[in-house]
Structure 1
Amino acid sequence: MTSSLTRRACAVALLLTSTLAPAVAAAAPPGGPGQRPGHAVQARLIGERTVAHKLAFQGTTVGGLSGIDRNPCTGEYVFISDDRSYLQPARFYTAKLDVDAGGVHSVDFTGTHPFLQPDGSPYPSPALGDGKAVDPEEIRVDPHSCDYWWAQEGDRPKVAGPPVVQPSIQFASPVGDHFGQLKLPANYTVTMEERGPRRNQAIEAITFGAKGKVVTSAIEGPLLQDGPEPDVNNGALVRVTQQSRDGRVLGQFAYPLEKIFAENDPDSPWGPDTGVPSLLAFPDQPDRYLVLERTWVAGAGYKIRLFDATTRGATDVRAKESLAGQTVVPMRKRLVADFHSLGLSAVDNTEGMTWGPDLPTGERLLILVSDDNFDQGAITQIVALGIR
């Protein structure tokens, strides 16, 4: 999620001087009632590396990296930038990562391309006000073709007048050519009748499962009709949707987002900011996901948590117009890692993650990236975890 530069600089400064509140208790283990939860997932830090701030590469400014995936056809990684065509056209990068059980040794960018509209032109800046701008947030490599599927949040204007830009999941070639887009569930639609995703809280997370046959997406925060955003006393429910590749909804479930971990600084002009920026299907378990939760609180900084979650046993809510006041069985989840316990040099705005290759240790490599929003006070951090 893109935030203002002022707030981001404030966040980093406060993070260095404040003490975080204790982590919430671990959530219930995956598995429906009466089912064994399966093996607990464990995570350990393998290494990290920081990309130079505003690195110049092939006529572009590297930054705002909010999504990452590994291309099985090339072995390279692809990153999506959330630059909304303010600095350069909305785009993605490819890179070679030298990562093994000994750490993250190098990050070498190899290419960049803009995403193209159906007419072959790059996406314009929102400043034009023509309703064609996009807000890129997530990218996945199609395991069937190695083309790219990418998600963008669209825009719900703060005031009446500017056009609504609907969120979308689009298809692109490895050089950015527009191939089409996925039909989304009706409740993903932004309406001016106070329904649908909140501003800057639409689709930030997509993943392929079931060997590429199922596409799962998550709304970052609760839909307007599903109730208020989390606070220090209560969490919230966000919708996670499984679809076929042609857009048919296979199921929709309520994921329980954690409550805010600390009180917001009352003197800050910015309120707390929390949501689901990424999720990742387990390779051989189509109903099981790693879910990333990212929270920022003025006066406390960032808290990044990774959860093991499942749709097994959860209520299918696709037909529920609203979740507010409804009795539903949410997805079950278990805490895998609180990033403050991993030994990282800094905990920043981590928004993207992907599986890497298996390690000789028997662990699966997990690569994560933080979004610096092009702010001098933030970092582009590549983190490697070993998942067992």
Structure 2
Amino acid sequence: MLNKISKIITLLIIICSLFFIDINPVFAQERLFLDLSLEYLDTYELKIQDYENTKVGGFSGITYNQQKDYFYVISDDRSRLAPARFYTVKINIENDKIDDVILENVTFLKDNNGELYANDTIDPEAIALSPRNSIFISSEGISHLRVAPFINEYDLDGNLLSEVPIPKRYIYNKEEKKGIQDNYGFESLTIKANATMAQDPFRLFTGSELALTQDFNDKIPETLLRSRMMHYVVNPFGQPVLISENLYPVNQADFGVIYNGLNELYALPEEGYLLSLERTFGLRGFGAKIFQIVMANATDIYAEKSLAGNIDNINLIKKKLLLNLKDLNIDFDNLEGLTFGPRLPDGSQSLILVSDNNFKYSTEKTQFLLFKIVKNTQGNN
């Protein structure tokens, strides 16, 4: 009898393999992801409050210039305390610790008229260095003032070089009930460059922090968590081309959380893989989770006018939790920016997170957190 059962099981396994049926969907899901983990190393608190006649704070995005060993950090000041700007920062890492953080320069951004941005005409949130030695910056806009979101390219002196076309469905229109809701715009931005030549195409990713107006149904609260993520190809000629748009599912908030959303993306070297940072705020303070996400097989939702209804026919971007920072039992603040940094002494890749103090110097901090990427050399699970 046992021998007969064994033969039946063996036959079933053969049939499943012939028809590509995965008899263990959990393991199949695991094989989608890279075998990565994060090891916390250190935290550094920046004490500076003024630099070159600017208020230092609001650090909501960070990117790394490997050739110069500098970081560029965007401030989310809406040109209220000083003109819209980014800072050039040197982060000295010694023995897996942040020894010092030094501000080297401040660069003011200029609009398409070559003028500094006026008060409340920009809300810069994310920054990414491109292979052509320029930076792309996203502004989530100010919907109630009808200030449109944008993604612009600037040179390292802050001069506007080009503009990424934004679909009209992201432009807020109260009458048509569409577009980015206030403070739910392009907090995230990352660039994936496969080639080394400045003139070669590269890709750009961004996503709305939470659902667009037309994607949210207030009778179904979970629809607020349906973020749209866009994937562009940037060519040396002509405008960037939007090649896909996918549904990124923001995690359901824990009990006591007042606010949560997608705050940052970072394209990994491996094709089709990114990191995402989701930040929360609530009765227990700030929270942050870092996920590995996979673009493969996600449905292109470009033609979807609304995501407020049934989405059973849509394949979501797949996610895997890498780290819940609450599990570290460390003090951290309003984390919004994330980037790879220099290699550590053992050859492993560093990861840097930065927090936005909202210019509340007495209650919130500007922090830089250092992590190590731990990677299984044997590849995927």
TM range, normalised to the smaller chain?
A: 0.7 to 0.9
Residue 314 in structure 1 maps to residue 298 in structure 2? yes
* Equivalent-residue separation in structure 2 for 1:184 and 1:100 (angstroms): 42
Deviation sequence 1:120-168 (CA, Å, 0-9, x none): 2111113xxxxxx10010111112x2111100011111xxxx4x11100
TM-score normalised to structure 2 length: 0.83
Tell me which protein shows more helix as a share of its residues: 2
Compared with structure 1, are the counterparts of its residues 333 and 229 closer, same or farther at alpha carbon in structure 2 (3 Å cutoff)? farther
Please list every run of 5 or more consecutive structure 1 residues that lacks an aligned counterpart in the other structure: 1-29, 127-132, 265-271
Matched position secondary structure for 2:50: strand
**Residue in structure 1 matched with residue 268 of structure 2 by the alignment:** 282
Residue 88 in structure 1 maps to residue 82 in structure 2? yes
**Residue in structure 2 matched with residue 198 of structure 1 by the alignment:** 181
Contact 1:73 1:146 in 2 (8 A): no
**Residue in structure 2 matched with residue 331 of structure 1 by the alignment:** 317
Using CA pairs under 8 Å that are at least 6 residues apart, name the structure with larger relative contact order, 1 or 2.
Answer: 1
Aligned Cα RMSD in Å?
Answer: 2.3
Structure 1 position 73, deviation (Å): 3.4
**Residue in structure 2 matched with residue 355 of structure 1 by the alignment:** 340
Matching residue's letter, 1:281: A
* Equivalent-residue separation in structure 2 for 1:89 and 1:387 (angstroms): 36
* Equivalent-residue separation in structure 1 for 2:67 and 2:151 (angstroms): 22
Structure 1 position 196, deviation (Å): 1.4
* Equivalent-residue separation in structure 1 for 2:364 and 2:67 (angstroms): 32
* Equivalent-residue separation in structure 2 for 1:317 and 1:59 (angstroms): 45
Identify which of 201, 208, 214 aligns with 1:225.
214
Identify which of 263, 266, 281 aligns with 1:296.
281
Matched position secondary structure for 1:42: strand
Matched position secondary structure for 2:143: coil
Compared with structure 1, are the counterparts of its residues 230 and 257 closer, same or farther at alpha carbon in structure 2 (3 Å cutoff)? farther
* Equivalent-residue separation in structure 1 for 2:172 and 2:248 (angstroms): 20
Contact 1:31 1:312 in 2 (8 A): no
**Residue in structure 1 matched with residue 36 of structure 2 by the alignment:** 41
Deviation sequence 1:340-363 (CA, Å, 0-9, x none): 12242x121100011112324343
Structure 1 position 35, deviation (Å): 8.2
Identify which of 249, 252, 265 aligns with 1:259.
252
Matched position secondary structure for 1:203: coil
Matched position secondary structure for 1:341: helix
* Equivalent-residue separation in structure 2 for 1:59 and 1:365 (angstroms): 32
Contact 2:96 2:344 in 1 (8 A): no
Identify which of 151, 161, 168 aligns with 1:186.
168
Residue 169 in structure 1 maps to residue 162 in structure 2? no
Contact 2:170 2:178 in 1 (8 A): no
Structure 1 position 100, deviation (Å): 4.4
Deviation sequence 1:315-361 (CA, Å, 0-9, x none): 111111112222211111111111112242x1211000111123243
Q: Percent identity?
A: 28
Compared with structure 1, are the counterparts of its residues 114 and 302 closer, same or farther at alpha carbon in structure 2 (3 Å cutoff)? same
Kindly report which structure 2 residues correspond to 1:26-175, keeping only aligned pairs within 5 A, or say none: 36-52=31-47, 55-126=49-120, 133-143=121-131, 145-157=132-144, 162=145, 164-175=146-157
TM-score normalised to structure 1 length: 0.82
Kindly report which structure 2 residues correspond to 1:236-251, keeping only aligned pairs within 5 A, or say none: 236-245=225-234, 246-251=239-244
Q: Which is further off, 361-370 or 41-50?
A: 361-370
* Equivalent-residue separation in structure 2 for 1:91 and 1:231 (angstroms): 39
Contact 1:78 1:94 in 2 (8 A): yes
Compared with structure 1, are the counterparts of its residues 361 and 230 closer, same or farther at alpha carbon in structure 2 (3 Å cutoff)? farther
* Equivalent-residue separation in structure 2 for 1:231 and 1:77 (angstroms): 41
Matching residue's letter, 2:249: P
* Equivalent-residue separation in structure 2 for 1:304 and 1:95 (angstroms): 23
Structure 1 position 230, deviation (Å): 12
Matched position secondary structure for 2:31: coil
Contact 1:230 1:236 in 2 (8 A): no
* Equivalent-residue separation in structure 1 for 2:178 and 2:222 (angstroms): 24
Matched position secondary structure for 2:187: strand
Contact 2:44 2:367 in 1 (8 A): yes
Larger Rg: 2
* Equivalent-residue separation in structure 2 for 1:57 and 1:314 (angstroms): 44
Compared with structure 1, are the counterparts of its residues 253 and 100 closer, same or farther at alpha carbon in structure 2 (3 Å cutoff)? farther
Question: Alignment length, in residue pairs?
Answer: 336
Compared with structure 1, are the counterparts of its residues 60 and 353 closer, same or farther at alpha carbon in structure 2 (3 Å cutoff)? same
* Equivalent-residue separation in structure 2 for 1:229 and 1:258 (angstroms): 17
* Equivalent-residue separation in structure 2 for 1:235 and 1:288 (angstroms): 24
Please list every run of 5 or more consecutive structure 2 residues that lacks an aligned counterpart in the other structure: 1-24, 195-200, 375-381
Compared with structure 1, are the counterparts of its residues 230 and 111 closer, same or farther at alpha carbon in structure 2 (3 Å cutoff)? farther
Compared with structure 1, are the counterparts of its residues 170 and 235 closer, same or farther at alpha carbon in structure 2 (3 Å cutoff)? closer
Kindly report which structure 2 residues correspond to 1:8-23, keeping only aligned pairs within 5 A, or say none: none
Contact 1:235 1:256 in 2 (8 A): no
Matched position secondary structure for 1:205: coil
Compared with structure 1, are the counterparts of its residues 348 and 123 closer, same or farther at alpha carbon in structure 2 (3 Å cutoff)? same
* Equivalent-residue separation in structure 1 for 2:123 and 2:26 (angstroms): 35
* Equivalent-residue separation in structure 2 for 1:38 and 1:308 (angstroms): 7
**Residue in structure 1 matched with residue 22 of structure 2 by the alignment:** none
Structure 1 position 257, deviation (Å): 0.6
